[in-house]
Chains A and B, each alone.
Chain A
Amino acid sequence: MQTHAMSETPALPRPGTSLRAFRPRQGWGGAIFDTLNITVLSLLCFITFYPFYYVLIASLSDPLALATHRGLMLLPQGLSFEAFERVWQNPMVRSGFVNTLVIVVGGTALNLVLTCCGAYALSRRRLMLEKPVMLMIIFTMFFTGGLVPNYLLVRDLGLLDSRWAVILPFAVSAWNLIILRSAFNAVPKDYEEAARIDGAGDFTILAQVYVPLCMPTLAVVAMFYAVAHWNGYFYSMIYLSDRELFPLQLVLREILVSSSTDSMMTGEAAGREALSTTIKYATVIVATLPVLAVYPFLQRFFAKGVLVGGIKE
């Protein structure tokens, strides 16, 4: 009896042990709940992951075998790399990759330089204009001019059909600026004073004190900017009509949504429709691989990213 009671109320955790580690089993109710919980979460993982897996095995399938297949698919139907060859030989996919790379690298670099400078200046509370400028920036988070005035502005600036059109209008995000400013504010002022006594100016203090000390937050902000540039399609669609400038997402849109896979196909009608499907799937795979490749490296920033995003002033 005594031992039973003991197992019901285990000892308090030693400091440093996770709460999870000592959470007691609570008889049948608890066991049923745990089983149910694990089942539900496994199901969720399946629902989340299966679409990707399906796209992968479908892209590797023989187009005609895939077209006649019904129901759940767990292995490729036949094996064919034809779709991948066609996607890879498509000049639009290649130029899309290059354009996206230019936009992601160039755009993120500009984002980071401006956001760092702005966050640094606005973390100086002694500036008389610090408050009015902050207010001016925060207001843009709640009210915007809207799509049409933005479009007219970009047009009037002569940016249509230039890469600047998808970089400049997104040069600073108010949200990321506030995140970085909070991080800079959290740096003890002693560091800055010490640097100033050594004769450092503002640029040196930013580059050699604040940036190194706030590297984790900066990495998160860089991740947010880069992901946004990589995924963006809408403004490319309205600002760019020169196909040479199309970023990858716009090329993907043509292939996946408008179904224009014709340029990638030759041959008889019956095989064409089937091949069109596998080409779409192969395109999804090719476009998702870079994300999957950097995903493990980004992962350690996830929690941090959401948390710094939740900072409120």
Chain B
Amino acid sequence: MTTPSTRTPAGYLSRLGRDLARNRVAYLMLLPVVAYFVVFHYVPMYGTLIAFKDFNPAAGIAGSEWVGLDWFRQFFNGLFVERLIVNTLLLNIYDVLFGFPAPIILALLLNELTSERFRRFVQTITYLPHFISVVVVAGMLLDFAARDGILTQVAVALGGTPDPLVNDPSWFRTLFVGSEIWQSVGWGSIIYLATLSAINPSLYEAARIDGANRWQRMVHVTLPGLLPIVSTLLVLRLGQLMTVGFEKVILLYNPGTYETADVISTYVYRHGILDANYSYAAAVGLCNSAVALLLLVAANRLSRKLTGNSIW
């Protein structure tokens, strides 16, 4: 269907001109959206140039002097680089290990319930924390893990010291990942429950006729039915290994727990926003985004190879 005129740039432009004129109302509706993405997403991408410059607010981004990879060198030769990378990765790895399977297990347990009412009751309760703000969750957690807090009391009862858990770096990862699971397990189970309800009932019938018991039906019918969505979500999660819910870290950590709590994004926040080391913090942030993008691409490729599912 391509007419010769579309192959030349001029032909393309005149065709585009006609298209713009014919659909001007639709394009008019699109305009603010495009403007939004250009201004608030692409201009900051251009702004990352300051990672390669010595940013001088008076001279602006274009006017500041190039310094090459100096800021990156400074970061990688710095005292904290190892700690930041380890903390960022460990919080994520623990969350993948414990937080990722949790909603799948919950969905499987809910699916086995015979009482519809009890099922709805459990769902109503477990979805609730998803809607509570991170500030409130962090506030509650800080209080429960403070001196005399209920979590600290539990730790003491199990033989721990009466020191507040929130000031103990060795407890930070447990508190962070634990509260993350507490808040998201119910909500996360919805998508698996929906997938489970879409599994063809005749597969269960066939399995039963073949003599499969409840456990065997779960292993041979339910789990294979869940696998595609599990692998897709796992890819997305693995692609996020460099991103932490840093809004929560900022609320929960204190200089005493930086040792295990400080992650790349909180470091960027302190240096970039609080201390106004714009170029340095932008360089650190850029490293983080670049590695995150690479991880996502790699995870997606791996998934396509192993399971045939990919997100693009």
Interface residues of A (CB under 8 A from B): 9, 12-13, 18-20, 23, 26, 29-30, 33-34, 37-38, 40-41, 44-45, 47-49, 51-52, 54-55, 67, 70-72, 114-115, 117-118, 120-122, 124, 126-129, 133, 136-137, 140, 142-153, 168-169, 171-172, 174, 177, 201-203, 206, 227, 230-231, 233-234, 238, 249, 252-253, 255-257, 277, 280-281, 283-284, 287-288, 291, 295, 298-299, 302-303, 306-307, 309-310, 312
Residue B238 at the chain A interface, CB threshold 8 Å: no
What are the 10 tightest A-B residue pairs by CB atom distance, in nearest-first order? A145-B44, A256-B139, A149-B47, A146-B285, A118-B33, A121-B30, A117-B29, A149-B44, A231-B133, A148-B272
Residue B98 at the chain A interface, CB threshold 8 Å: no
B 94-146 contacts with A by CB, 8 A:
106, 109-110, 112-114, 116, 118, 121-122, 124-129, 131-136, 138-140, 142-144
Let me know if A280 and B194 touch, CB within 8 A.
no
Min C-beta distance of B267 to chain A, whole Å = 11
Min C-beta distance of B229 to chain A, whole Å = 8
Let me know if B19 and A128 touch, CB within 8 A.
yes
Q: How far apart are the CA atoms of A118 and B142 in the complex, in Å?
A: 42
Q: How far apart are the CA atoms of A309 and B140 in the complex, in Å?
A: 29
Residues of A with C-beta under 8 A to B114: 20, 23, 34
Residue of A nearest to B190 (CB): A306
- B286-311 CB mask vs A (1 if < 8 Å, else 0) is 10110001001000000000000001
Residues of B with C-beta under 8 A to A230: 133
Given contacts A37-B109, A122-B30, contact A153 B272 (CB under 8 A): no
Residue B208 at the chain A interface, CB threshold 8 Å: yes
Number of B interface residues in the complex (CB < 8 A): 92
- B202-224 CB mask vs A (1 if < 8 Å, else 0) is 00110011000111000000000
Min C-beta distance of B154 to chain A, whole Å = 10
Residue B62 at the chain A interface, CB threshold 8 Å: no
Interface of A is mostly: helix
Q: List 28 A-B contacts (CB under 8 A).
A: A9-B209, A29-B215, A41-B113, A44-B122, A48-B128, A48-B186, A49-B125, A121-B27, A124-B23, A127-B23, A140-B37, A144-B41, A146-B48, A146-B289, A147-B272, A149-B48, A152-B278, A153-B39, A153-B43, A169-B40, A203-B25, A230-B133, A238-B273, A257-B139, A288-B136, A299-B127, A302-B187, A312-B311
Residue of A nearest to B287 (CB): A146
Min C-beta distance of B35 to chain A, whole Å = 10
Let me know if A48 and B44 touch, CB within 8 A.
no
Min C-beta distance of A111 to chain B, whole Å = 11
Residue B231 at the chain A interface, CB threshold 8 Å: no
Let me know if B44 and A144 touch, CB within 8 A.
yes
Let me know if A153 and B40 touch, CB within 8 A.
yes
Q: How far apart are the CA atoms of A149 and B284 in the complex, in Å?
A: 12
Q: How far apart are the CA atoms of A148 and B275 in the complex, in Å?
A: 11
Residues of B with C-beta under 8 A to A203: 25, 29
Residues of B with C-beta under 8 A to A238: 269, 273
Min C-beta distance of A277 to chain B, whole Å = 7
B 234-268 contacts with A by CB, 8 A:
247, 250-251, 265, 268
Let me know if B126 and A118 touch, CB within 8 A.
no
Residue B85 at the chain A interface, CB threshold 8 Å: no
Residue B91 at the chain A interface, CB threshold 8 Å: no
Given contacts A38-B118, A121-B27, A227-B131, contact A146 B268 (CB under 8 A): yes
Let me know if B131 and A291 touch, CB within 8 A.
yes
Q: How far apart are the CA atoms of A9 and B112 in the complex, in Å?
A: 18
Residue B75 at the chain A interface, CB threshold 8 Å: no
Min C-beta distance of B237 to chain A, whole Å = 14
Q: Which of A33, A115, A146, A284 has the most CB of B within 10 A?
A: A146
Residues of B with C-beta under 8 A to A136: 34, 37, 42
Residue of A nearest to B156 (CB): A70
Q: How far apart are the CA atoms of A168 and B48 in the complex, in Å?
A: 20
Q: How far apart are the CA atoms of A150 and B296 in the complex, in Å?
A: 22
Min C-beta distance of A284 to chain B, whole Å = 6
Residues of A with C-beta under 8 A to B285: 146-148
Residues of A with C-beta under 8 A to B25: 201-203
Residues of B with C-beta under 8 A to A201: 25
Residues of A with C-beta under 8 A to B110: 41
Residues of A with C-beta under 8 A to B144: 51
Task: Please tell me which one of the listed residues B140, B205, B215, B232 contacts residue A12 in the complex, with CB atoms under 8 A apart.
Answer: B205
Let me know if A26 and B23 touch, CB within 8 A.
no
